[in-house]
Amino acid sequence: MSKPLSAPVPVSTPVTAKDLDALLHFYLNYVAGIRPAQASKHDICNALSLAIRNHLIDNQFVTEDRYQKADSKRMYYLSMEFLIGRLLASNLHSLGLEKLAQEVLQKYGVTLQDIEEAEPDAALGNGGLGRLAACFLDSLASLDMPGFGYGINYEYGLFKQHIDHGYQRESPDHWLHEDAPWLIERSEATCNVPLYGHIDHNRKCNNGFGPWVDWQTIVGVPFDIPVVGYGGRTVNYLRLYSARSSNEFDIQIFNGGDYIKAVEEKIYSEKITKVLYPSDSCWGGKELRLIQEYFLVSCAIRDILNRHLEQNNSLDNLADKTAIQLNDTHPSLSVAELMRVLMDEYGYEWKDAWETTQACCAYTNHTLLPEALEKWPVALLQHVLPRHLELIYEINRRFLMEVEAFWPGDENRQQILSLFEESHEKQVRMAHLAIVGSHSVNGVAALHSKLVQTRLVPDFFALYPERFNNKTNGVTPRRWIVQSNPSLTHLFNDTIGTDWVLDLSQLKKLEQYADDAAFQRAFAQAKLDNKERLAQVVREQSGIMLNPASMFDVQVKRIHEYKRQLLNILRVIHEYLRIVEDGKTPEVAKTCIFAGKAAPGYVMAKLIIKLINSVAEVVNHDPVVGGMLKVAFIPDYKVSLAEKIIPAANLSEQISTAGTEASGTGNMKFSMNGALTVGTLDGANVEILEEVGKDNIYIFGLSTEEVEQMRLQNSYISKEYYQSSPAIKRILDSLVDNRFCRGEPGIFNPIFDMLLDGGDYFYHLADLESYIAIHQQIDEEFMQEDLWTRKAILNTARMGKFSSDRTILEYARDIWGIQSA
Ligand SMILES: *Cc1c(COP(=O)(O)O)cnc(C)c1O
């Protein structure tokens, strides 16, 4: 099925099978201490990764020399999440070493695919935001650009999901327990992070502030993951920090005789990087999370300045050589930290420090959902970061003077714009800090950027219009087509050559084959191959049987009310009731595939998972349905699973309430792989529509403006839909009768109540009828195979815009001022 890829790229340092074989033997025998004949797949995976890593390190030195020689400006991407997934396959492919690895592995009686499957996913992220960061690193390296990731080396990545009687169960993902061959410890670049303490107001430093005293120190130890670009010429790094206790600090307490306290402090310090917070699009407000954010910021800024000073005499030209991109507000303490270091440690005046800070920093907004906007209580900041709080007060004082100059006497504006929110508990608005301290503020799709300007922070937009811009997201075609869809890749390479891998707009050339019968057949065959591959994986991993001849109708993403998996399953229930109650036999066999994790504390999202599984249980075992409709919830959605699900999809469900999904990137991956989208006019769906054309996408539902109107006028009365539509009434009633509850009476009542008692913030019932109707159209068109395949081909051919290479080139040109070197 997945044939070896025709080696597409030159390898910078020649490697022979003999070299690789010897290295593999060396790592198994002498590093792992295992007889090669007895090595497990996991052992071989590690050893092979270490062997490849050598190669990456060589190229990393060469890359660094090149950047130094060019005296390049560098970009640092600060993100609390990097959802990178597996690396062996992508690294081998980028280096063009797949064939060689396959050859060497024969001796061990295993295939390269087996070994690649033995690698655990690096799940250091929740969803789209973290995956975007990973795609950006791939594009930066593939474009030979000096751009580097800074993040946290969580000991526990995103939890693993199991399904137990239809319910989500979580278990820890201790990925660092397993050896992590891609991580290279850089203890020489360890840095100290100050925390707690207080300001001594009885003394004054040169800059007029009292000194920050009695702080404690946490140590940040960096681990680098090499990031190789396609072709292997450029190797950048992703630098992840682990927290350690400071020896100095321990020894002081040990010497004081309080052994237990010293050990407790040590445990406390190391707790900081233990675990990734598992909430997506929802802000938690926990002290440990604040410390994690500051820990990242402090380590990154320290490292960035040190690196700058290795090549420059002073920090005067820092902004000429440095760009810092803040991935959402999570690292926005960078603004205060950079000010603190420049002023308190390097003696800069406020004005110069501020100019440098603003010129370096840029902020990407990722969400309009109010529950996701970070605000930290002033009392907490006072306790943890007293000096930063003081600086934020001063930043705000100066900022409000600007507001006063722009809108004299307008106290309302001052309140709206202030970095501080005077609610029951005074809080710092982190988005405001990020906007004020940056020279650029961008949204992640055209619609989203417009909504940032008009709805989220219109007064900031009025004050600083030139600061706002859009950078529509993209995804890397290396992972999301070449690596995950070898069947389609071969077809493309045979048809239009291989240049499209580094220039996705070249896929346009496929348009001329959209009506070509032979190409259509090959395209449809590639899709069928991928469906069979997925069916096999799902059968092996969860025992669920999928029929590759049916339509694969797929919604995979974090489970969230705004993403409306509930709308999807309500529609599936409708299709089921049509069969069993109305006696209608469907003309299209359909498999509705779901996957995704719910935040462990998100009760409604977890209940939606249970509902999907309960519906699956009933539908899949109903003899009347006769296999024409199937529902499958595939557990433990993650990057490596996405790589198998997405190429197998016929239909991509992108059905968030208009105005809630900032961009989406799953939508792009599907369309690139020849799935048609059913979606609302939300996020990047709007731009996908523009690119593929209205005949090649299924758009339904309320527009952003209509949703906004309904919100303003309070005119969404969900009961009216229930009372006036027999179909909707029947669907909802089925939630509370015994059809799906089976032995747990009443379990879905909270969903029924939420939908009908004014708790439906995402307007499910307002879009349900048009959603059902468009699915009817979809079924009819899916039956016309040539028509469907033609549309699928046109989707792929017209997705060039959504390569993250295009996104990165725009950031580089408009925001960072960095170049290929
Ligand atoms: C792409 C991706 C996402 C983002 O999906 P959306 O549909 O844009 O929410 C989330 N998780 C994984 C594993 C992904 O690969």
pLDDT digits (tens, 9 = 90+) for 445-474: 999 999 999 999 999 999 999 999 999 999
- 341-353 pLDDT, tens per residue? 999 999 999 999 9
Q: Examine the domain organization and report whether 558 and 421 are in the same domain.
A: no
Residue 8 lies in a domain: no
- Give the separation between CA 767 and CA 728, rounded to whole angstroms: 11
Name the residue among 679, 699, 596, 686 with its Cα closest to residue 645.
Answer: 596
Q: What is the dihedral of CA 602, 608, 612, 615, to 10 degrees?
A: 140
Ligand 1 nearest atom to the CA of residue 83, by list position: 13
Please tell me whether residue 118 adopts helix, strand or coil conformation. coil
Q: Which atom of ligand 1 is nearest to the CA of 563?
A: 9
Cβ contacts of 569-573, under 8 Å, gap ≥ 24: 569/594, 569/608, 569/611, 569/612, 569/615, 569/631, 570/731, 570/732, 570/764, 570/768, 571/768, 571/771, 571/772, 571/775, 572/615, 572/619, 572/629, 572/631, 573/615, 573/731, 573/734, 573/735, 573/740
- Separation of CA 131 and ligand 1 centre (Å): 7
557 lines ligand 1 (CB under 6 A): yes
Percent of the chain with pLDDT over 70: 97
Q: What is the pLDDT of residue 742?
A: 84
Report pLDDT for 482: 97
Residues 253 and 397 in one domain: yes
Query: Would you place residue 252 in the very low, low, confident or very high pLDDT band (cuts 50, 70, 90)?
Result: low
Ligand 1 atom nearest to 669, measured from its CA: 1
Q: Which residue has the tokens 């004082």?
A: 397
CA-proximal residue: ligand 1, atom 10 (nearest): 127
Closest Cα to atom 6, ligand 1: which residue? 666
Q: Is the CB of 122 under 6 A from ligand 1?
A: no
Q: Is 664 in the pocket of ligand 1 (CB under 6 A)?
A: yes
Separation of CA 223 and ligand 1 centre (Å): 25
Nearest CA to ligand 1 atom 11: 127
Ligand 1 midpoint to CA 638 (Å): 8
Report how far ligand 1's centroid is from the alpha carbon of 666 (Å): 5
Residue nearest atom 15 in ligand 1 by C-alpha distance: 639
Q: Give mean pLDDT, residues 378-393.
A: 97
Check pocket membership of 639 for ligand 1, CB cut-off 6 A. Answer: yes
pLDDT band, very low/low/confident/very high, at 423 (cuts 50, 70, 90): confident
127 CB near ligand 1 (under 6 Å): yes
At 220 the three-state DSSP class reads strand
User: Quick one: average pLDDT of 73-95?
Assistant: 97
DSSP-derived secondary structure letter, 577 = H
Q: Is 640 in the pocket of ligand 1 (CB under 6 A)?
A: no
Whether residues 451 and 555 share a domain: the answer is no
pLDDT of residue 484: 97
Q: Is the pLDDT of residue 111 over 50?
A: yes
Say yes or no: CB of residue 531 within 6 Å of ligand 1: no
In this prediction, residue 1 has a pLDDT band, given cuts at 50, 70 and 90, of very low
591 within ligand 1 shell (Cβ under 6 A): no
Place of tokens 């109650």: 581
- Please report, to the nearest 10 degrees, the dihedral formed by the alpha carbons of residues 514, 520, 524, 526 taken in order: -90
436 and 566, same domain (yes or no):
no
Q: Pick from 452, 451, 661, 471: which is nearest to 557 by CA?
A: 661
In this prediction, residue 312 carries a pLDDT of 97
DSSP assignment string, 364-419: E-----GGGS-EEEHHHHHHH-HHHHHHHHHHHHHHHHHHHHHSTT-HHHHHHH-S
Residue 452 lies in a domain: yes
Give the model's confidence band at 416: pLDDT under 50 very low, under 70 low, under 90 confident, else very high: very high
Closest residue by Cα to atom 5, ligand 1, is 666
Beta strands 122-124 and 82-85 are: antiparallel
Instruction: Identify whether residues 458 and 557 lie together within a single domain.
Output: no
CA of 596 to the centre of ligand 1 (A): 9
Residue nearest to atom 9 of ligand 1 (CA): 557
- Confidence category of residue 9, pLDDT binned at 50, 70, 90: very low
User: What are phi and psi for residue 750, nearest 5 degrees?
Assistant: -60, -30
Return the best residue to mutate from 558, 562, 594, 654 for the ligand 1 pocket (most ligand atoms within 8 A of CB): 558
Q: CA neighbours within 13 Å on the CB side: how many for 621?
A: 9
User: How many structural domains are present in the chain?
Assistant: 2
Cα–ligand 1 centroid distance for 112 (angstroms):
26
Cβ-contact 122, 157 below 8 angstroms = yes
Cα 676 to middle of ligand 1, angstroms: 17
Q: Ligand 1 mean position to 698 CA, how many Å?
A: 20
| Rounded-to-integer distance, Cα 307 and Cα 319, Å | 13
- Chain-wide mean pLDDT for the chain? 95
Greater pLDDT, 372 or 558: 558
Cβ of residue 125 lying under 6 Å from some atom of ligand 1? no
pLDDT band at 7 (very low <50, low <70, confident <90, very high): very low
**Residue 220 within any structural domain of the chain:** yes
CATH code (residue 647):
3.40.50.2000
Residue among 401, 116, 345, 396 at smallest CA distance from 209: 345
Q: What residues are labeled active site?
A: 366, 557-558, 563, 665, 669
Ligand 1 binding pocket mutation candidate from 641, 665, 667 (most atoms within 8 A of CB): 665
The confidence band for 48, taking pLDDT boundaries of 50, 70 and 90, is very high
- Give yes or no: residues 603 and 462 share one domain: no
Verify whether ligand 1 is closer than 6 Å to residue 666 (CB atom). yes
Instruction: Spell 196-211 as b/e; 16+ CB within 10 A means b.
Output: ebebeeeeeeeeebbb
What token pair was written down for 446?
């055209």
Mutation probe of ligand 1 site: the residue of 124, 484, 639, 682 with most atoms within 8 A of C-beta: 639
Q: What per-residue confidence (pLDDT) applies to 5? A: 38
Give the global pTM: 0.96
Statement to judge: residues 297 and 417 lie in one domain: yes
pLDDT of residue 62: 95
Question: How is residue 107 annotated by DSSP?
Answer: T
Tokens of 161: 């999901």
Q: What is the pLDDT of residue 731?
A: 98
To the nearest 10 degrees (0 to 180), the angle between helices 726-736 and 764-783 is: 110
For ligand 1, the distance from its centroid to the CA atom of residue 342, given in whole angstroms, is 38
Q: Where in the sequence is the domain holding 356, given as residue range(s)?
A: 71-85+121-472+809-816
Ligand 1 center–CA 20 separation, angstroms: 35
Task: Please give the number of the atom of ligand 1 that sits closest to the Cα of 665.
Answer: 8
Rounded-to-5 percentages of helix, strand, coil across the chain: 55, 15, 30
Taking each helix axis from N to C end, the angle separating 785-797 and 764-783, rounded to the nearest 10 degrees, works out to 110
Q: Is 131 in the pocket of ligand 1 (CB under 6 A)?
A: yes
Task: Check if the beta carbon of residue 533 is closer than 8 Å to that of residue 488.
Answer: no
Write b or e for each residue in 371-404: b if 16 or more Cβ atoms lie within 10 A of its Cβ, otherwise e: ebbbbbbbebbebbbbbbbbbbebbbeebbeebe
State CA 690 to chain mean position distance.
24
642 lines ligand 1 (CB under 6 A): yes
Ligand 1, residue 646: give the atom nearest the CA: 15
Confidence band for 688, pLDDT divided at 50, 70 and 90:
very high
**268 lies in the same domain as 173:** yes
Q: What is the 8-class DSSP label of residue 214?
A: S
What distance in angstroms lies between residue 668's CA and the mean position of ligand 1's atoms?
10
According to the model, what pLDDT value does residue 264 have?
80
- Is residue 333, in this structure, part of any structural domain at all? yes
**What tens digit of pLDDT does each residue of 216-249 get?**
999 999 999 999 999 999 999 999 999 998 876 5
Per-residue b or e along 256-268, where b marks 16 or more CB atoms closer than 10 Å to that residue's CB: eeeeeebeebbee
The model's confidence at residue 13, banded by pLDDT at 50, 70 and 90, is: low
Between 531 and 107, whose confidence is greater?
Answer: 531
**Quick check: is 40 in a domain?**
no
Ligand 1 neighbourhood includes 679 CB (under 6 angstroms)? no
Specify whether the CB–CB gap between 308 and 71 falls below 8 A.
no
Q: Whose CA is nearest to atom 7 of ligand 1?
A: 666
Residue 523, number of CB atoms within 10 A of its CB:
25
Tell me the chain's radius of gyration from C-alpha atoms.
Answer: 27
Angle between helix axes 247-255 and 259-271 (nearest 10 degrees) is 160
Distance 127 CA to ligand 1 centre (A): 5
Q: What is the pLDDT of residue 178?
A: 67
| Residue 664 CB contacts under 8 Å (≥ 6 apart), including other chains | 128, 445, 473, 557, 654, 656, 682, 683, 684, 685
In a domain, 408, yes or no: yes
In short, whether 128's Cβ falls inside 6 Å of ligand 1 is: yes
Residue 782 lies in a domain: yes
Structure token pair of residue 151: 């993040």
The pLDDT of 359-385, averaged and rounded, is: 96
- Which of 557, 646, 660, 677, when mutated, tests ligand 1's pocket best, judged by the most ligand atoms within 8 Å of its CB? 557
Burial label, 690 (beta-carbon count in 10 A; 0-12, 13-18, 19+): middle
- Say if strands 322-327 and 426-429 run parallel, antiparallel, or are unpaired: unpaired
What are the φ/ψ torsions at residue 337 (nearest 5 degrees)?
A: -70, -40
pLDDT for position 6:
38
Decide if 635 contacts 163 (C-beta within 8 A). Answer: yes
Digit-coded pLDDT (tens) for 568-605: 999 999 999 999 999 999 999 999 999 999 999 999 99
654 lies in some domain: yes
Ligand 1 atom closest to the CA of 475, numbered from 1: 1
Confirm if 674 and 575 have CB atoms less than 8 A apart. Answer: no
Report the nearest atom of ligand 1 relative to the CA of 654.
7
| pLDDT of 672 over the 80 cut | yes
The residue with greater pLDDT, 513 or 54, is: 513
The two structure tokens encoding residue 254: 């040990």
In three-state secondary structure terms, 724 is helix
664 CA: nearest ligand 1 atom: 8
pLDDT band at 2 (very low <50, low <70, confident <90, very high): very low
CA 556 to ligand 1 center in whole angstroms:
7
Query: Of 490, 482, 440, nearest to 803 (Cα)?
Result: 482
Residue with the smallest CA separation from ligand 1 atom 4 is 128
CA of 690 to the centre of ligand 1 (A): 22
Q: Does the Cβ of 638 fall within 6 Å of ligand 1?
A: yes
Tokens for 706, please give them: 């209509």
CA 585, chain centre distance (Å): 40
277 and 160 assigned to the same domain: yes
Q: Are residues 458 and 589 in the same domain?
A: no
